[in-house]
């Protein structure tokens, strides 16, 4: 089997950080061409540093890391320190990482890599606001046919919003970018809150990660312990939902996820519901299907996969 070429676009964030570790642990399946970072959970100067810290921790200093857009396309940046702490990855030691920051802009890297690739060959894995991906599409529309598929974390239907009553954070931060990406015409699989809220880090699952006993296991455990606190209080749940790793888990084990082909449109007009994902689950609009909307996850299977992979690093 040849490894699937992917570009990961992220805004670490503890759950982005765990997503990176999971991807690092699957080199036979995933060929990570680059990690592009964007402003989101915390400002860009922190998300790019955090991605590089994760490359250090995961022993993958070979993967090129790029800094991208410093703010959303039209709206002011909204960050989420209340969830992730002021560093974005509170729970691990913060230092100046060895993994270098590449000089090119994330958007340039995405464009150049896709232009040099065959049609339908590269999978994009965005787990933050979609600014970098949308900017690349707007600047160089001829990259679109090169995209095999986009497997992203974003949106909400049945669960309602987590950063406004009706919007999920990644889409609310840059709804205009989300509109561009969801209308690009390439296949999209979306891990919205309907899926990720099923993937809860219970005390038992957290203990299994801690019991790995390696530096990676400890880092993952300590980040999740910090990150869970906020969501446990917010949702009254047993643990926090592990959003972003669902994307990579889907690439590794799609059978853990159940989805339906639907139309997803993005609200970009209303202040009240800005960034809402209008998911036409019952196909009442006649709008064309553009998204595999994941609505069911085998959570035990997900945590087994995650724990087994983290143990490999």
- Residues assigned a catalytic role: 243
In angstroms, the CA 72 to CA 147 distance is 22
Given a contact cutoff of 8 angstroms between Cβ atoms, the answer to whether 73 and 208 are in contact is: no
How many Å separate Cα 278 from the centre of its chain?
20
Nearer to ligand BDR, 55 or 143 (CB): 55
Nearer to ligand BDR, 23 or 111 (CB): 23
Nearest to 192 by CA among 169, 174, 176, 226: 169
When binding is defined by CB under 5 A, the residue of 6, 9, 16, 249 that contacts Ca ion is 16
Nearer to ligand BDR, 111 or 303 (CB): 303
Tell me, by CB under 5 A, how many residues bind Ca ion: 6
Smallest gap from Cβ 244 to ligand BDR, in A, equals 5
Residues near ligand BDR, by CB under 6 A: 13, 15-16, 41, 80, 83, 127-128, 153, 162, 168-170, 243-244
DSSP secondary structure of 248-284? HHHHH-GGGEEEEEE-EEE--S-TTTTTBEEE-TT--
Which residues are within 8 A (CB) of 116 and not within 5 positions of it... i.e. 6 or more apart? none
80 binds, among Ca ion, ligand BDR, none (CB under 5 to 8 A by kind): ligand BDR
Token reading at 256: 């853990």
157 binds, among ligand BDR, Ca ion, none (CB under 5 to 8 A by kind): none
How many Å separate Cα 219 from the centre of its chain?
19
Nearer to ligand BDR, 36 or 41 (CB): 41
Smallest gap from Cβ 171 to ligand BDR, in A, equals 8
In angstroms, the CA 55 to CA 70 distance is 21
Angle between helical axes of 215-235 and 44-57 (0-180°, round to 10): 140
Positions in 126-145 near Ca ion (CB under 5 A): 127-128
Write the interaction track for Ca ion spanning residues 232-271; mark x where CB under 5 A is met and - where it is not. Answer: ------------x---------------------------
Which range touches Ca ion (CB under 5 A), out of 9-17, 185-193, 259-267, 305-313? 9-17
In angstroms, the CA 128 to CA 36 distance is 10
In angstroms and rounded to an integer, the radius of gyration of the C-alpha atoms of the chain is: 18
172 binds Ca ion (CB under 5 A): no
Which residues are within 8 A (CB) of 52 and not within 5 positions of it... i.e. 6 or more apart? 65, 97, 98, 99, 100, 101
Nearer to Ca ion, 26 or 171 (CB): 171
What is the binding site for Ca ion (CB under 5 A)?
11, 13, 16, 127-128, 244
């Amino acid at each position: 089997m040849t490894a699937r070429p992917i570009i990961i676009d992220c805004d670490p964030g503890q759950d982005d950080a765990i997503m990176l570790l999971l991807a690092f642990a699957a080199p036979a399946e995933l060929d990570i061409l680059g990690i592009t970072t964007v402003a989101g959970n915390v400002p860009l100067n922190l998300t790019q540093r955090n991605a590089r810290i994760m490359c250090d921790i995961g022993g993958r200093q070979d993967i090129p890391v790029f800094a991208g857009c410093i703010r959303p396309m039209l709206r002011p940046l909204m960050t989420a320190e209340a969830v992730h702490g002021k560093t974005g990855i509170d729970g691990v030691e913060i230092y100046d990482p060895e993994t270098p920051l590449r000089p090119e802009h994330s958007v340039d890297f995405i464009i150049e890599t896709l232009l040099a690739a065959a049609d339908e060959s590269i999978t994009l894995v965005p787990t933050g606001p979609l600014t970098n991906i949308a900017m690349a599409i707007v600047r160089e529309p001829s990259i679109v046919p090169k995209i095999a598929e986009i497997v992203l974390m974003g949106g909400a239907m049945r669960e309602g919003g987590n950063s406004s009553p009706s919007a999920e954070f990644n889409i609310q931060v840059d709804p205009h970018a989300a509109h561009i990406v969801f209308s690009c015409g390439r296949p999209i699989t979306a891990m919205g809150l309907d899926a990720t809220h099923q993937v809860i880090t219970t005390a038992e699952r957290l203990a299994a990660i801690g019991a790995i006993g390696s530096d990676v296991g400890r880092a993952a455990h300590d980040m999740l312990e910090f990150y869970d606190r906020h969501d446990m209080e917010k949702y009254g749940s047993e643990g926090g939902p592990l959003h972003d790793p669902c994307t990579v888990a889907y690439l590794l084990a799609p059978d853990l996820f159940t989805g339906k082909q639907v139309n997803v449109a993005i609200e970009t007009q209303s202040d009240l519901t800005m960034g809402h994902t209008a998911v036409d689950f019952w196909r009442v609009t006649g709008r064309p299907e553009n998204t595999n909307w994941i609505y069911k996850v085998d959570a035990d299977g997900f945590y087994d996969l995650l724990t087994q992979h983290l143990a490999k690093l």
